[in-house]
Copies of this chain bind each other. A is one copy, B any other.
Amino acid sequence: MLEHGGRLRAAALRWGIARERWLDLSTGISPWSWLADRAPPISLDAWQRLPEDDDGLAEAAAAYYGAAALPVAGSQAAIQALPRLRGSSRVGVLAGSYAEHALCWQRAGHAVIALDADGIDAAVDTLDVLLLVHPDNPSGLVHARSQLLDWHTRLAARDGWLIVDEAFVDATPALSLADHSQRPGLILLRSLGKFFGLAGARVGFVLAQDALREALAEQLGPWTIAGPARQIAMLALQDRGWHAQQRSRLHEASARLHELMADAGLPADGGCALFQWHRGDQAAALHEALAVRGILTRLYYAPAPSLRFGLPSSEAEWQRLAEALVGRVATRRFDGCAKVMAGRDPPYDRITP
């Protein structure tokens, strides 16, 4: 199993700090869950009976995404299954991107090629599958839609696939390719985990041509999503007013985090509405220094050391992070790190090319 963020029980054990005392910034999950301060009734039937796939969830998703969508048990379920739908393929992934993709394609016997952002275009015509997380996790890298569609066209001409994991796109819907998802060979993964703050529900969607959605449904088998999760997901997808409110507060919080990190001498090298990302040789030490203060971030070792920060929500959380970063960490312990990183001023999202 790969390591992931959000393992708060493991962190509690490792650093000897009780689970409830942590400020967990180790995931890209919104601190504002759609379910917060809500208690929609969940029927006993939803727990007792087998979930029925004609319960309206697919329709609610189609209305939200503007495209036909196959419900899956989190986009992870699709990540596991898609590699089994192709014969041996050359699969390009962005170096350093969310590692489950590469792992699952490798495990299924495909050849996985790690690409630099600048090398994607030159590699496309040598690939069978190009797999991008968009915005990328953790780098936040985004591409122009026209660029993505060009790559898709070149791949599809040879029966290739462009898979775009849009787990973090909901706050910036203009970046999504949902409106093109009926094109052969274009496969989009969506999730209710991050933007909706419903990672525990295990609900995601695959937007793709009918035939591919059907093949994937066969591969995944029946009843993959819990009944209560289907009910909650349906309500969340239909709550248009909340979507707008959520987009706005996520952008605001992400910009504030960007600024706070810059003030602490730890400027972000990328990010999106749900996290900011900082590269630096001191990443592991900074991760440790924050952890001993009960602040969990997500540490990456490869391809270069880096840290991803999720969003604080309450003023108390902002204060706690600011004190840890600016007061104790940056100036006292990580002065060297702060100086090394200074002078960089990346845009909120990096756009290529």
A positions within 8 Å CB-CB of B: 1-2, 4-10, 24, 27, 29, 33, 35-36, 44-52, 54-55, 73-74, 76-77, 79-80, 100, 104, 107, 193, 197-202, 217-218, 220-229, 232
Q: Which residue of chain B has the shortest Cβ distance to A224 in the bound complex?
A: B73
* Smallest beta-carbon distance A228→chain B, Å: 6
Q: Which residue of chain B has the shortest Cβ distance to A104 in the bound complex?
A: B221
A79 touches B49 (CB 8 A): no
* Smallest beta-carbon distance A338→chain B, Å: 31
The 3 closest A-B pairs by CB, nearest first: A200-B227, A33-B48, A226-B226
* Smallest beta-carbon distance A129→chain B, Å: 19
Other A-B pairs, 7, CB within 8 Å; known A48-B199, A50-B200, A201-B228: A1-B218, A4-B50, A5-B50, A33-B44, A45-B200, A48-B197, A202-B226
A36 touches B44 (CB 8 A): yes
Q: Which residue, of A6, A8, A77, A226, has the highest number of chain B Cβ atoms within 10 A?
A: A226
Q: Which residue, of A1, A49, A222, A229, has the highest number of chain B Cβ atoms within 10 A?
A: A49
Inside 8 A of A6's CB, which chain B residues have their CB?
49-50, 52
A35 touches B48 (CB 8 A): yes
Inside 8 A of A202's CB, which chain B residues have their CB?
51, 73, 223-227
* Smallest beta-carbon distance A142→chain B, Å: 24
* Smallest beta-carbon distance A75→chain B, Å: 10
A50 touches B193 (CB 8 A): yes
Inside 8 A of A221's CB, which chain B residues have their CB?
76-77, 79-80, 100, 104
Q: Which residue of chain B has the shortest Cβ distance to A4 in the bound complex?
A: B222
CA distance A54 to B1 in the complex (A): 14
Could you list 14 A-B pairs, sorted by A, with CB under 8 Å?
A: A7-B52, A7-B54, A29-B49, A35-B44, A35-B48, A45-B200, A46-B200, A47-B201, A51-B202, A76-B221, A80-B221, A104-B221, A202-B227, A228-B229
A47 touches B218 (CB 8 A): no
Inside 8 A of A80's CB, which chain B residues have their CB?
220-221
Q: Which residue of chain B has the shortest Cβ distance to A100 in the bound complex?
A: B221
A35 touches B47 (CB 8 A): yes
* Smallest beta-carbon distance A152→chain B, Å: 26
CA distance A80 to B193 in the complex (A): 24
